[in-house]
Chains A and B, each alone.
Chain A
Amino acid sequence: MTATEERPATEIGASRRRKEDARLITGRTRWTDNIVLPGLQHLAMVRSPFAHARITAIDTEAAKAASGVVAVITGADIADEQGALPNAWAVIPDQKAPVHPSMAVDHVAFAGEIVAMVIARTAAEANDAADLVDVDYEELEPALELKAAARDEVIAHPDLGTNVSAVWSYDSAESGTGGDVEAAIGAARDGGIVIEKEFRQQRLIPAFMEPRSIVVDPTTEQMTVWSSTQVPHFVKIFIALVLGIPESKIRVIAPDVGGGFGGKLQFTPEEVLTVIAARRTGKPCKYTETRSESLMVAHHGRDQWQQVTLAANADGTVTGLKVELIADMGAYLGLVTSAIPLLGAFMYNGIYKFPAYHLGITNVFTNKTWTDAYRGAGRPEATYAIERLMDELAARVGVDALEIRERNWIKHEEFPFSTVSGLRYDSGNYEAATAKARQLFGYDDLRAEQRKRRESGDPVQLGIGISTFTEMCGLAPSRWLGSMGYVGGGWEHAAVRMLPTGKVEVVTGTSPHGQGHETAWSQLVADRLGVAFEDVEVLHGDTQVAVRGLDTYGSRSLAVGGMAVLAAADKVIEKAKPIAAQLLEANADDLDFSGGRYGVRGTDAGMTMAELAFAVFQGHKLDGSAEACLDADATLDPDDFSFPHGTHLCAVEVDTETGATKIRSYVCVDDVGVVVNPMIVEGQVHGGLAQGIAQALFEEAVHDEGGTLVTGSFDQYLVPGAPDLPAFETARTETPATTNQLGVKGVGEAGTIASTPAVVNAIVDALRPLGVTDVQMPCTPYRVWKAIQQGAQEGAQQKEARS
């Protein structure tokens, strides 16, 4: 076949254009909201305008009488039916949490919480009638400010009696992974260096491109649920558990999904309510949220205060790290809300050899939209804290910020390395990535320019920001998850099927929503089975097709799901062996598999996988000694995490007259291990950088004093576009992971995790001579300008005090 001859030497490593892009880019595909079924009914939600209130009465009469309305349902109507939304991660056994209803019955705990729904024949009629539902509220004081909420000044859920959901800690002395951090800080206070900082991780909104949508068809034997979700397998099992429907009666399909970023790693009130609406009326129902609803109520991310203390010797060798953080859960616990800080708990020490470490986490409820996973989930918060601190340490010691990192990082010959937080980093080479980044960036030239601008008092100052990050990917070994209190596992499943015509179907339990699994998994299987890339079809996202799976999040898909695909392909090759032996009339031990063909060693005789597949389909010549089937399933549970790392360097120009920041250049060298498709990796890095830079400069979910979301549209919630970002220069080093057979690590979150501190470090670096030591994110021109004013004021006061 010519296709075979034109193939790259190996598919792995080839920048294949994505198979899925033609249909995704042209929109000629099936998004959930495109699905139209006979007799389809439409839902509109009535949402609380108040952050905290009691519902005293709901009058649905006018809405029920409106044109096209089938039913109007309130929380009281379904109180016995709706169950409670699940939290799947009790970070401590006695974690406190309010009951989480899909529809509020008598108490609303955040602005946007659903209080009623309208089922109507058209979406327009549902909307019109929703406006007619008259709800009486008795307003209660909302708990909004996180620190005040942590002190229980106002209680978000009066029945709970406290806002504190859980307190969790890790201590290296107690765990035997390091020394006593208080002792280290005490020692550093006497002649060493102690840096104390408070960092704010502002609240963010995932802002995926496709708003969430659900269609439920109750008219088939298995109820079919289409949902714009990252986790169709989760949705299936939770519909069963929450609504008491047998799991075997539910089919969930995630068709093409337009982005998630963790925001669709959820089991939502809207999913439950659409199922209830369809079940009650016996007809298909659809709910599609508006962009305003999406920004308001699809779970938010981040939102922490971090108190950090770093201890070091006078020469800048780190001796201890202490972190006390409070994390805003929002009004309820979603699927893994409670564990987001925990997922960062082991990364605060970063790539550095801290001898002592302590982390304390306090999970707190407020009357705001619940938070949960958002790209990076815990690790961006940790990386931000440690990378900001390393820059502060460099400034204190008076050495270059790259130099201070090099003094403290794990050297490449020291891997595998057991960290102070109890993880085992299997591989890495921070020296190589940094050397490459430094050269691409023109580090020394930029430092020289920076000096010149400082000396000339240029109103536009240059700053250089560094982030030498690592992260834990490949979520996750099931044993580890179990030990941390998660109810589920972390395995992944795949199936590989040889079709009679030589084509291959690959079924994956991962659920791509922009990642390009159809392309990358095709490359994996094409190499392994020796078939053409074009001949591999990847199926996913439908629980009737991909029967087993744990879906896509946490940079897990390749490191766990991709390895399951390879394991299944290997089983296919193994299953083909006795069949090939029989048909070739050879001893199985004399067969070699290479280039998609079983050949008899020392002869020209052989059969390709396609020939074997057809022979198995016919069955005419099989003697029955081997099973007449080449299809195989594989479940894979990873042994450990993988640890991508990289060096990100950012140059910013800060206009000291206006406070405006412009990113002049951005260089990153990421080490994500072996790369299957460099183009996809680069795309992931670019998008990740944009999202991380957005946290540093642009995005913040802001509520007013009543708890209403002020940044409720893209007018106010500023997602940057191409004009707002520089041309990124990306490169890679390749240190294979040792924890999976291909040496891959994961790349979905790398750019987001690394870039935020690089940008803020650059801004602070530009302004440090002006007395600025921190700027709270997002570093808006206004905040930067104020920091400069304040720096000048403090500088003047210090001067005065000295004279």
Chain B
Amino acid sequence: MIPAAFEYFSPTSVDEALGLLREHDDAKVLAGGQSLMPALRLRLAAPEVIVDIQKIDELHGVRDDGDALVIGAMTPHSTVQSDPLVSEHARLISLATATVGDPQVRHRGTFGGSLAHADPAADLPAVAVALDASFVIAGADGRRTVPATEFFQGMFSTAVGEDELLVEVRVPKYTGWGAHYEKFNRVAQAWSIVSVAAAVRLDGDSIAEARVGLGNMGPAPVRATAVEAALVGQPATAEAVREAAARAADGTSPGSDLNGDADYRRHLATVLTRRAVLAAAGTA
């Protein structure tokens, strides 16, 4: 289908983009377009103005910033997926990114675009909360940094205000950690029914630290803190991990749809968390 008419801008700087967002009440940011374009074509969205931030150079690329990695919001998934820095310091992101959509989607879609869209069933939000990423948001008053747990506010809803722009995401380094992304869906290109992102640091045979994020277990991604706490100091064995993973659904509020009801999702969360943590420990 053909989108409703809109005015198109293609700014080349963050300030120019912010100016356009302030100037126009009904503006939408185009950040790769893998969700927005279908919505426009189906006329589920009909903004008057589109601000395409593709040409803002500073939003592209991955860089090393001491104890953190910085991923520009407009870095395409395909770049993130194959980036050596990401692979070394945040392998969970490489693994999850490799499961996003299909090769075409990964070439057009962007890291920040996916996070800012905040689809509950998307892959990257669960990873971002697991890894304690922080989000740098630019606005009229400069830039502010928001932790992942505050960034995701609900279904398709984030801390980015109407006249603001997500510019980059800072990820602490998890060098030497094991990682695994467990995506459970019905066909390869479908959204997750539930997904689990896990990273584990081992000390000898036991788990020194663990990070677990859950996707599609509520309107926003969930950090499985009860599981993380229960894992610390435990041996990375099937039994110990099973016991800890049994708490995966604590505090979640999953929905029901054609793919499963809330009970099924809660059950899946425990099974998939066990598998994800064990697999992550196996790669540490």
Contact = CB atoms under 8 A, between A and B. Distances in A.
Interface of A: 123-124, 127-128, 131, 290, 292, 657-658, 660, 698, 702, 710-711, 713, 715-716, 718-721, 723-724, 780-782, 785-786
Contacts of A660: 184
Contacts of A719: 187
B184 A716 contact: no
Contact of B189 (A292, A721, A781): A721
A723 B190 CA distance: 12
A112 to B, nearest CB: 14
B4 A718 contact: no
B1 A127 contact: yes
B260 interface: yes
Contacts of A658: 184, 268, 271-272
Contacts of A702: 258
B205 to A, nearest CB: 24
B37 interface: no
B258 A785 contact: no
Contacts of B187: 698, 718-721, 723-724
Contacts of B42: 292, 713
Nearest to A711: B258
Contacts of B271: 657-658
Given A128-B4, A721-B187, 9 more contacts: A123-B2, A292-B42, A658-B268, A715-B190, A716-B258, A718-B187, A724-B188, A781-B186, A782-B260
Nearest to A289: B1
Interface in B189-231: 189-191, 193
B264 interface: yes
Contacts of A123: 2
Interface in B8-47: 42-43
B186 A718 contact: yes
Nearest to B5: A128
A124 B258 contact: no
A123 B2 CA distance: 8
Contact of B190 (A128, A290, A718, A785): A718
B36 to A, nearest CB: 15
Nearest to B191: A715
Interface in B219-262: 258-261
A780 B193 CA distance: 11
A782 B268 CA distance: 10
A89 B128 CA distance: 59
Contact of A131 (B43, B189, B259, B264): B43
A715 B185 CA distance: 12
A123 B186 CA distance: 36
A781 B271 CA distance: 13
Contact of B264 (A128, A716, A723, A785): A785
Nearest to A785: B264
Nearest to B271: A657
Closest 10 CB pairs of A and B: A723-B188, A782-B260, A290-B1, A124-B2, A724-B187, A127-B2, A657-B271, A718-B187, A720-B187, A782-B264
A710 B267 CA distance: 25
A752 B2 CA distance: 35
A720 B188 CA distance: 8
Given A658-B271, A782-B259, A785-B264, A721 B184 contact: no
A292 B5 CA distance: 20
15 contacts: A128-B5, A131-B4, A290-B1, A292-B42, A657-B271, A658-B184, A658-B268, A660-B184, A702-B258, A718-B187, A719-B187, A723-B188, A782-B193, A782-B261, A782-B264
Nearest to B4: A128
A73 B156 CA distance: 39
Contacts of A723: 187-189
Contacts of B259: 780-782
A711 B257 CA distance: 12
A711 B259 CA distance: 12
Contacts of A716: 258
Nearest to B268: A658
Nearest to B270: A657
Given A124-B2, A131-B43, A658-B271, A781 B188 contact: no
Nearest to A697: B186
A405 B113 CA distance: 56
B258 A710 contact: yes
A354 B1 CA distance: 53
A334 B220 CA distance: 45
Contacts of B191: 715
A10 B88 CA distance: 60
Contacts of A657: 271
A177 B267 CA distance: 53
B2 A780 contact: no
A670 to B, nearest CB: 26
Nearest to A655: B271
Contact of B188 (A710, A721, A782): A721
B95 to A, nearest CB: 17
A781 B184 CA distance: 10
Nearest to A720: B187
A592 to B, nearest CB: 59
A724 B185 CA distance: 11
A657 B269 CA distance: 11
A785 B194 CA distance: 15
A124 B6 CA distance: 12
Nearest to B265: A782
Nearest to B259: A782
Contacts of B261: 782
A180 B52 CA distance: 73
B183 to A, nearest CB: 12
A128 B5 CA distance: 9
B50 to A, nearest CB: 16
Contacts of B258: 702, 710-711, 716, 780
A716 B271 CA distance: 24
Contacts of B188: 721, 723-724
Contacts of A721: 187-189
A28 B70 CA distance: 45
A723 B264 CA distance: 25
Contacts of A724: 187-188
Instruction: Identify which of B189, B191, B259, B271 gathers the most chain A CB atoms within 10 Å of its CB.
Output: B189
B71 to A, nearest CB: 27
Contacts of A290: 1
Interface string B41-85: 011000000000000000000000000000000000000000000
Contacts of A781: 184, 186, 193, 259-260
Nearest to A724: B187
A780 B259 CA distance: 7
Contacts of A718: 186-187, 190
A654 to B, nearest CB: 14
Instruction: Identify which of B42, B43, B258, B259 gathers the most chain A CB atoms within 10 Å of its CB.
Output: B258
A658 B194 CA distance: 11
